[in-house]
Structure 1
């Protein structure tokens, strides 16, 4: 490593799903490169699966993993959380604060700016991971969050987007970036490009992801109902994942009379889940650059996915096979075709994997993000007048958040 080692802190609210997978992979790759890295996340989110993942990660990071209560909704309590985070981060003396997701981005940039006002040279990086970019700019809540994002760009040193789609969404909904911005695809480790064989009793279809409507488990269940009602097919299916809406999806399965053919398996490692199915279904309504799609393609498991976010960038010349988001009929049609012609799905899976390892590589991901840190740290320290302007902008932003921002079910 040619540059001096950095002290890097990653901040995210929810330590679950692809966003935490991204942070863990990035933190470990940066550690291998000689940097001192830590992670800060919410203490109230996740179950035993996430607890085990954090327990494995923490000892490998020089600055550890620290957990604080962080609400999903924007509330006055954020000020108390920010104060606790500020005191902890101040003592860690970071060079880089990298915020992930909407809430992590607010904390990283707010605390980083406070430290800069006290003379610390802290680089403030933000990666939306979809985040508030999923909102509709025509609705009030979208207008509020995009106004906040525009304000926060004034005290951000660099932006990371996980897909071209995410960059374009930021540009159209928030503003054209006036600071260094870089598209960096999520990356996989070399061993993840090995094919996963299916168990003898593998189900026909499998949904894997957080159990919330944004990810489409309700669409998956309705498509299974239509496979029976419209196509006369009776496939078996597994649902892998956890979330507070799980009871509602279990009720849907019972209401549609599918309880004998649909099994909820809870949270599982992706490659373990892949063994249990002949075809993965990702029916998301919105995405940025989903790891589960990358992992499925790398493992050569047949996949049905929706045309949202950065998924077409993964599929490349196979993107025409993607289904229309939020369209149960289109999803059911694709699943019926996969069920009746599994050999065609396997041939497609083999073709999709080609060259994926060159583009979606974890070491390349780490190098490109860490080089952005170094590039943005090359600038001159702000003047006293500039620091006063930042402080005034932060105060205005805090007032807007606490007085106008709506309660939301989350987009991280």
Structure 2
């Protein structure tokens, strides 16, 4: 007999956390779990996407970050659909999900996809978010962390509050994408975005948000062009820094393409000669597994869960965060040493195959059963 599980998430955009939730919902064994999705943002981008895969989805719009007005509607929804477990993703979802748990006795677990204090453009808002999240932590039935790094952070928070909760590390699973025709994919993407054939393309994919570090990538590319002039910077993603990044790119003198959000951004990977992930903080970095599948050499910040995915100088080059000079030096090494680059990408592709959606789903169902029992 399957259990009914309500997933709560902001869902205003489709970033790493939303993609992870979508991968989970699409692949859950319906004999074990019957999933529902609740999004907390009016005009949610995630809800219609989930509905297209046959996942029942509702929007419980919050008017401001700590708005409790959706509570009666969510409680009614849980009663109507006999929800046995709430699975919250993110600070706002934690606030509502744990409060519903307190009022209804339906257990609520949370997945930590990133550090709450880094989820907002303003550090003050990040600290307030963490404070609010801590207020309801004692109403949680358990926690999933997408990396050991995040589980350690959660353990520190729990210890400070004197709480003992089950904390499981369940890595995000990556979809298996088809890169059997990389040359055609490269040609099609570069033609679509008018990227010159002779350029070396250094690309990144991620939200345009301070924590993703794109400003430092731009500075690194300015340093690198002195050594390798035919560079083209490709930035894929959307977010609050769109206008600021556009202005910085125009002032940089770099050849660049800023695409905005692309629903199937993985298709752009073969158009890149190098993938750079300059995050200042990162829960896991699902897109790194996609780049590894594509056989693109990777430079990434040595932060959060990234070193758990890719070993430095073995499957990627990892550099200190917010260090354009180190980033430029690493890019130069990979672009110049083709033999080293080929060995590194082969090992990274093999490593990426270990992070399957099937394992993520099974580990999640096991955790659900543990909490329910």
Contact 2:6–2:38 (8 Å) recurs in 1: yes
Larger relative contact order (CA 8 Å, sep ≥ 6): 1
Residue equivalent to 1:335: 331
Inter-partner Cα distance in structure 2 for 1:186 and 1:289: 8
1:310-360 CA deviation, whole Å, 9 max, x = no partner? Answer: 1000013637820110111111111222333344323211112224323x1
Indicate which of 50, 60, 65 corresponds to 1:74: 65
Residue equivalent to 1:192: 177
Residue equivalent to 2:48: 55
Distance 1:65 1:327, change over 3 A: same
Inter-partner Cα distance in structure 1 for 2:315 and 2:151: 19
Task: Say whether 1:38 aligns with 2:36.
Answer: yes
Residue equivalent to 2:164: 178
Residue equivalent to 1:253: 249
Gaps of 5+ in 2: 188-196
Contact 1:133–1:173 (8 Å) recurs in 2: no
Distance 1:93 1:203, change over 3 A: farther
Inter-partner Cα distance in structure 1 for 2:236 and 2:319: 21
Inter-partner Cα distance in structure 1 for 2:127 and 2:260: 36
1:10-42 CA deviation, whole Å, 9 max, x = no partner? Answer: 111134211011101111222444522111113
Indicate which of 67, 72, 76 corresponds to 1:87: 76
Secondary structure, counterpart of 1:39 in structure 2: strand
Q: What is the TM-score of this pair, normalised by structure 2?
A: 0.85
1:88-133 CA deviation, whole Å, 9 max, x = no partner? Answer: 33333211100011111121111122122xxxxx221111211425
Correspondences of 1:183-332 after superposition (within 5 Å): 183-189=169-175, 191-192=176-177, 197-198=182-183, 199-200=186-187, 201=197, 203-229=200-226, 231=227, 233-258=229-254, 261-268=255-262, 269-316=264-311, 318=314, 321-332=317-328
Distance 1:263 1:188, change over 3 A: same
1:80 shift after superposition: 1.7
Structure whose residues are more often helix by fraction: 1
Inter-partner Cα distance in structure 2 for 1:373 and 1:299: 33
Inter-partner Cα distance in structure 1 for 2:228 and 2:292: 29
Residue equivalent to 1:357: 353
Contact 1:283–1:325 (8 Å) recurs in 2: yes
Distance 1:159 1:195, change over 3 A: farther
Gaps of 5+ in 1: 117-121, 379-412
Distance 1:67 1:10, change over 3 A: same
Distance 1:143 1:267, change over 3 A: closer
Inter-partner Cα distance in structure 1 for 2:212 and 2:169: 23
1:44 shift after superposition: 3.9
Residue equivalent to 2:192: none
**Aligned pairs, number:** 354
Indicate which of 343, 349, 354 corresponds to 1:347: 343
Inter-partner Cα distance in structure 1 for 2:178 and 2:159: 37
Residue equivalent to 1:154: 138
Inter-partner Cα distance in structure 2 for 1:203 and 1:270: 19
Secondary structure, counterpart of 1:74 in structure 2: coil
1:290-314 CA deviation, whole Å, 9 max, x = no partner? Answer: 1111211122221111101110000
1:249 shift after superposition: 0.6
Secondary structure, counterpart of 1:275 in structure 2: helix
Contact 1:123–1:373 (8 Å) recurs in 2: no
Contact 2:315–2:347 (8 Å) recurs in 1: no
Distance 1:333 1:213, change over 3 A: same
Residue equivalent to 1:126: 110
